[in-house]
Amino acid sequence: METRNQYFEEAAAPRTGPLIAAATLIGIGMGGFVDGIVLHQILQWHQMLSAKLPPDTVINKEVNMFWDGIFHAFTWLTTALGVYLLWRVAYERKSILSNKVFGGSLLLGFGLFNIVEGILDHHILVLHNVREISSNPSAWNFGFLGISVLLLLAGWRLLQQGRREAGVK
């Protein structure tokens, strides 16, 4: 049976959960920004609805651009929430600040974003492909998921290493 003192010692013990939550949200937002800025805007490989509504007319391009904007608003809000939570972590001083926990959580969030977005948008809803103009769009879609799994695994490994070094169970 846990004593009253054990309960308060555990409650006051340093923890990594708040840092993990903050950095994972920032990683999700950063993953969205990389997708939107690099793949949608710079390389122009796809737009949000380009498999359903090819951007071959001004109207279709405008509709795609609108939904790209909604997507960017989501990524901005997610990143802003993560920054707010990170500020609280730094301010409360009970959380462990670890570069490995932070970096691992960023990678975890980035990979998580890519997995969810890739499965939903590329495979289930078929809103767009990673590279619309390709002789084999499926290869690009599955390659995207493969890289995403590597990000998840690298993030998880770095996160766990940071937790061990910080002495957190």
> Is it the case that residue 154 has pLDDT exceeding 90?
yes
Within a domain: 87: yes
Region 86-104 average pLDDT: 91
Cα radius of gyration (the chain) = 20
CA distance 128 to 38: 15
Confidence band, pLDDT 50/70/90 cuts, at residue 2 = low
Percent of the chain scored above 90 by pLDDT?
84
User: Using an 8 Å Cβ cutoff, are 121 and 32 in contact?
Assistant: no
Within a domain: 78: yes
Within a domain: 151: yes
Domain total in the chain: 1
User: Using an 8 Å Cβ cutoff, are 155 and 107 in contact?
Assistant: yes
Name the residue range of residue 97's domain.
Answer: 15-166
Q: What is the pTM of this model?
A: 0.89
Within a domain: 19: yes
pLDDT digits (tens, 9 = 90+) for 42-57: 999 999 999 999 999 9
> Is it the case that residue 118 has pLDDT exceeding 60?
yes
Helices (H) then strands (E): counts for the chain = 5, 0
Within a domain: 3: no
